[in-house]
Amino acid sequence: MDTDYDTTFEEDSQMPNDDEVPYSDDETDDELESPDSHEPEQNRINKQAELSREHVPKECNWQVKANDRNFYDQPEFKIKSYLCFKKSKYSGNAIKTYKYNPLTFLPMNLFEQFKRAANAYFLVLLILQTIPEISTVSWSTTLIPLLLVLGITAIKDLVDDIARHKMDNEINNRPSEVIEDGRFKKTKWKNIHVGDIIRINKNDFVPADVLVLSSSEPNSLCYVETAELDGETNLKFKMSLEVTDKLLQEEGALADFDGMVISEEPNNRLDKFVGTLCWRGMSYALDADKILLRGCTIRNTTYCHGLVLFAGADTKIMRNSGKTRLKRTKIDYLMNYMVYTIFVLLILASAGLAIGQTFWDAKLGQANVSWYLYDGNNYAPSYRGFLAFWGYIIVLNTMVPISLYVSVEVIRLGQSYFINWDLQMYHCEKDTPAKARTTTLNEQLGQIQYIFSDKTGTLTQNIMTFKKCTINEETYGEQRQEAGNKSTFSEQVDFGWNPLADPKFTFGDHYLIEQIQSGKDPDVRQFFKLLALCHTVMVEKTDVGELIYQAASPDEGALVTAARNFGFVFLSRTQSTITISELEKEVTYEVLGILDFNSDRKRMSVIVREPSGNIRLYCKGADTVIYERLHPNNPIKDSTQEALDMFANETLRTLCLCYKDISHEEFEKWNKRYHEASVAMVDRDEALDKVYEEIETNLVLLGATAIEDKLQDGVPHTISKLAKADIKIWVLTGDKKETAENIGFACELLTDETKICYGEDINALLQTRMENQKNRAGGNPETCANNPHPFFQTDEKRSLILTGSWLNEILLEKKKKRKKRLKLKFPRTAEEKQKDLQEKRKTYALKEQRQKNFVDLACECSSVICCRVTPKQKAMVVDLVKKYKKAITLAIGDGANDVNMIKTAHIGVGISGQEGMQAVMSSDYSFAQFRYLQRLILVHGRWSYIRMCKFLGFFFYKNFAFTLVHFWYSFFNGFSAQTVYEDWFIALYNVLYTSLPVLLVGLMDQDVSDKLSLRFPRLYIPGQKDLLFNYKKFFLSLFHGVVTSLIIFFIPYGAFLLTMGQDGEAPSDYQSFAVTTATALIITVNFQIGLDTSYWTFVNAFSVFGSIAIYFGIMFDLHSAGIHVLFPSKFIFTGAAPNALRQPYLWLTIILTVAICLLPVVALRFLSKIMWPSESDKIQKNRKKYKTEEAQWRPRVSTIRRGVSGRRSAYAFSHQRGYADLIATGRSIHKKRAPLDAVFGANAAENIQSAGTI
């Protein structure tokens, strides 16, 4: 009897944890398995046997052998790549983003271009024109425009690909050092392989994901900056294994290193790594703290040695990049559908005229009426109709505009340069201009409905500033000279009295300095002493004696820096002591315990023995947890609460500070329990937290700090402007909920009038809606009807704040814990398979309906903040809005964790500068500051959209007006596919005679100025609603073109019926008629674009009248006798233009035709602006008034509402544990490492050998 493990899924009964980052994309089911899940006893025994045989988890099958490249050539490391060809599963370190090489450029580019329906159509048309039986038009009329289109597009693609080649070469050719032949040698990034030992020097980028082996720092500490990954510039530390720190310092030892790392497969989990180092018969556990990720930068570390684990595409930063999606605009898709519509109209028109040819030839041809058209071939009427069909396909081919695509590309390229050249989007401090990294999405910027923004480094500068504090019922931080007297006194405090002060620190309250120096209030000094002692900051002293602090978070660094400037300077620490300078007096405290911060505790404490022998606990943390632990007799509790409310209303990040004196007996008892908890083998963290709780009671409150998480300049103003343009902004961040909520208030996404809905509220609303839908659908989720009623019945302003854990819970994306049970294995019947399939469909339908309901609910809110979300969740949220709202989305971020979101959105924007370039490299647009987004969208985006809509509408109009004249002419030429115009006019119409004015409108037109566009954001709304270009506008252009073609054909035709020239001859020949209709068409079309132009410049005027002048100049040249003598078969309209245009009657005919075409348009425009003016029309009407007001208009100043109680505890702490564990081990507290030869000298080998035997 065979048995099998059957996997089942069940809901996790636990409520989501707001502070926990949810599982990442590649998390395995085994990792999510509940440790206390019930399973058969035999399963447990089998599992224990497996673990005893194999130390490494079964999902860890990635093997890396140090210094042995031949190891990776083994057959078991090969994977199938194509057909029977195999390649190594280990990626090389070279990055490839380019598409072409010199050999493949021409064939691949032509293949891609001919995948476009229009290009393929014209290629077929060109082939048809070479067949004499069906073509009445020269093949050159198609070849010239086709070559122009293919050539310009190919040059653009070549330039783009050369830029990609340069970027790839720049990255792949970065220098590095790799051990080869027993010593470090210079090499390039692209030559690095998995298993290589590399050296990374200070301020260098990490070339691959590497295991830290040793470094120049004490105990092989390595400081890294992760700006490329997450936009955070505060330093983080990594640390090697103790064994590799001791034994792998010298070059020779590194060259002889033959360890094997067995780890998890490549994945995108930035914060997690599971592996084991096997070396010299011993196994050592590896985690993320020992791994340097590609894209990080080494800081404050002279050098670092590492073993390459993942290279190139296998690195975590590349795994987080997501798939590169081909982005196309909404107008692109619409334009393609319109071209398909024109194809259909072309076929219908050609078929109708071919039927006319068949009947005409059958009825009249037999009567020999058209004897002069006889071609010597006795074809049947139906066959002649078939030939006429293809002939009309050729004649009417200009209905499908071949130059449309190349004209669109030229306009987009020009608009991209305007963005690049915009000095108002240039950031002087970073010397960073705005950059349009793609040329295909500009008009989409004018249709944005949702913006998804990262927080750290995007909305904020990630710079924390100590702004205010409250101590013993007195609040400090306002500009003042003495107690209670606020003033406009703007001079900052002079910290010259403190030789150790940080010169960058500024503070405006002189009274606080007076209090510190006088010592009148001892609590003030106690307050800053606490800040100097209660932290996990590490300090480094430079050669010139300058102090450099390394903090786990910028918040903690800001507090220690503030204490430093106010006279309480943190100088140094050892494993058991901390030394500070108290008003220039150096004091050393014995550290008895560090009770570190975590997301559950929301506080940290330090227990110190003072020089006097007293034991005191200092604690700082969130007000919500501190107030629960205060002594009942705390007289300043209420006043501090009021100050906290004020700080919260000013969107400052707060921490409460308190202390407690501990007797020696109490400490000894507690310390014993602490040691027992610290060595517990099971649930150590929970045991420690419980012991911490015992000592952190009956605290005495000192006051509170207020730190400003400094926003980038202009963020609230920008968000306000975008909101007035009916653009909704969602913030997606990995920060904790309190921080994200605080920033929401700071940038005015949230206000005191906003009702905030949290995860549990949303979950309840969605459950109710799902139940209602299920009841209406009769219990079948696949037929759940959409509820047209909104979730919220009132117009109250609401915002949604949701954590990543709640997001998974709500969207049914949460991975379920596996429960294994022993089950007999029998073949499943067809009914069982069908039942399983139905269950899966039902589950999928339920999940889809739930997700749609969530999107509907979230979109009813004025703003949404998602915190503690992973990169995958950011992309998922964007994708849900795209999927269910069909809305145009924009994502903006600055780190590698934003890349997936940036690539998923319709438009991705990267913040460039000091935060890193990973997001920029994946973005479509980049600039240095968030505030430039309003100009990119409200000015450049809106202008680009309006210009493109005008261009397309006019382009279709001019081609219909030009081509349909042939259609009307067919009823008078026996349906013979004869053209109205000469061949050269047909070839040059779209290339020279009408191209320049419409291109300039597409490039330069603007209905209102940039300042008015920013001042009146409501002007942006028509683009969101697709009002300026849609199928209605397309058919209006078609109708306009049909009417114009009717007038251009029939007015001259009627005039030519009874024409008599001055010389008594009738100029009613075909060539004169062709010249007359062509002239009327050119003047009408160019004047029409003049009517559509809102922004007249000399260039526009020159283009309109210059195009008409070019037409006359070229026409007279082509109709001259001289060119006919040179090419008699190509130029047959000899003298036609001079003969026709010397007749006043024909000039009157042309003027009448143009007037009848344009006067109704002028009348309709006048009526529409008077009777139904648009928002833009109203602003244009008052343009002069607004221009005079512009000099007096200033952006509004953000005001802080004081005195309004709003308990928003935005405590300032790191999102992870601090350096307490590191400090407690003592491994970081040593002198700077001496040079390697001084340490080992001649006895290096002996030292290594002896260390290995310990």
Catalytic positions are 454
Distance CA 482, CA 484 (A): 6
Distance CA 87, CA 79 (A): 6
Q: Compute the CA torsion angle 190, 192, 193, 198 (nearest 10 deg).
A: -160
Q: Is 306 exposed, middle or buried (0-12, 13-18, 19+ CB in 10 A)?
A: buried
Helix axes 830-860 and 871-885, enclosed angle (nearest 10): 90
Q: Position of tokens 């700077």?
A: 1232
Nearest CA among 721, 879, 776, 766 for reference residue 325: 879
User: Contact, 597 vs 603, CB < 8 A?
Assistant: yes
- CA 1217 to the chain's CA centroid: 29
Output the six-digit token pair for 376: 């010597």
What spatial distance separates the first Cα and last Cα of the chain, rounded to whole Å?
A: 52
Distance CA 53, CA 135 (A): 82
Spell out the residues 6+ positions from residue 629 whose beta carbon is closer than 8 angstroms to its own: 696, 697, 698, 699
Task: Give the chain's length.
Answer: 1254
Range list of β-strands (E), 380-537: 435-436, 450-453, 460-471, 474-476, 480-482, 485-486
Nearest 5 degrees, angle CA 1045-CA 1051-CA 1055?
150
Residue 101 corresponds to which amino acid? N
The dihedral of CA 1243, 1248, 1249, 1254: what is its sign?
positive
Nearest CA among 317, 224, 218, 33 for reference residue 898: 317
Spell out the residues 6+ positions from residue 293 whose beta carbon is closer than 8 angstroms to its own: 206, 209, 226, 229, 270, 315, 316, 317
Residue 1110 corresponds to which amino acid? I
Distance CA 434, CA 236 (A): 30
How big is the chain by its Cα radius of gyration, in Å? 38
User: Contact, 656 vs 1209, CB < 8 A?
Assistant: no
Q: Among the residues of 910-1063, which ranges form H helices?
A: 918-921, 932-935, 942-970, 983-988, 995-1004, 1010-1015, 1021-1024, 1031-1057
Nearest CA among 611, 636, 612, 613 for reference residue 623: 636
Nearest CA among 921, 914, 939 for reference residue 423: 939
User: Three-state SS for 656?
Assistant: strand
Spell out the residues 6+ positions from residue 715 whose beta carbon is closer than 8 angstroms to its own: 459, 746, 747, 930, 931
- CA 305 to the chain's CA centroid: 34
Bridge pairing between strands 798-803 and 755-757:
parallel
Q: Among the residues of 192-324, which ranges form H helices?
A: 227-230, 242-247, 251-256, 316-319
Nearest 5 degrees, angle CA 1204-CA 1209-CA 1213?
145
Range list of β-strands (E), 22-94: 62-65, 78-82, 85-88
Distance CA 1226, CA 1220 (A): 10
User: Three-state SS for 526?
Assistant: helix
